[in-house]
Amino acid sequence: DTAVSQTPKYLVTQMGNDKSIKCEQNLGHDTMYWYKQDSKKFLKIMFSYNNKELIINETVPNRFSPKSPDKAHLNLHINSLELGDSAVYFCASSQSATGGELFFGEGSRLTVL
């Protein structure tokens, strides 16, 4: 079983559209994250949720709206997509918000045309 799974793995869409990426973890972890990896492979945290509550929001445009229906799921919705949103988005989870290894999903490659 995949510990952290993301869907879809690939997403190609037009500018201005709205899209969502879903993430689920079956590790029983309390904390989940979204990271963005740009074309130069630079990884930057976007959001973190602990037990469904937002704890980190790193100056991400408000077109990006994370939602955590329960602690095993963290979805990312993006409105009015722009070219610069093209990237690989990685979901991750950890045992707690204060420590522990991060386990990453396989990434969702978003291409905005």
Partner 1 sequence: AQSVSQHNHHVILSEAASLELGCNYSYGGTVNLFWYVQYPGQHLQLLLKYFSGDPLVKGIKGFEAEFIKSKFSFNLRKPSVQWSDTAEYFCAVKGSNAGNMLTFGGGTRLMVKP
| Residues in Cβ contact with 40 at an 8 Å cutoff, skipping those fewer than 6 apart | none
Nearer to partner 1, 44 or 63 (CB): 44
For 100, other C-beta atoms within 10 Å of its C-beta total 13
Least CB distance to partner 1 at residue 95 (A): 9
State the nearest-atom distance from the C-beta of 39 to partner 1, in Å. 12
Which CB, 14 or 99, lies closer to partner 1?
Answer: 99
| Residues lying near partner 1 in the complex (CB under 8 A) | 4, 31, 35, 40-45, 48, 55-56, 90, 94, 96-102, 104-107
Residue in the structure block whose two tokens are 């978003």? 110
- Residue 64 vs residues 4, 7, 48: alpha-carbon distances, Å: 21, 17, 13
CB of 17 to partner 1, least distance (A): 25
CB of 16 closer than 8 Å to CB of 80 = yes
Pairing outcome for strands 73-78 and 64-70: antiparallel
Among residues 81 and 92, whose Cβ is nearest to partner 1?
Answer: 92
Residue 81 or 97: the one with the smaller Cβ distance to partner 1 is 97
For the CB of residue 32, give the shortest distance to partner 1 in the complex, in Å.
11
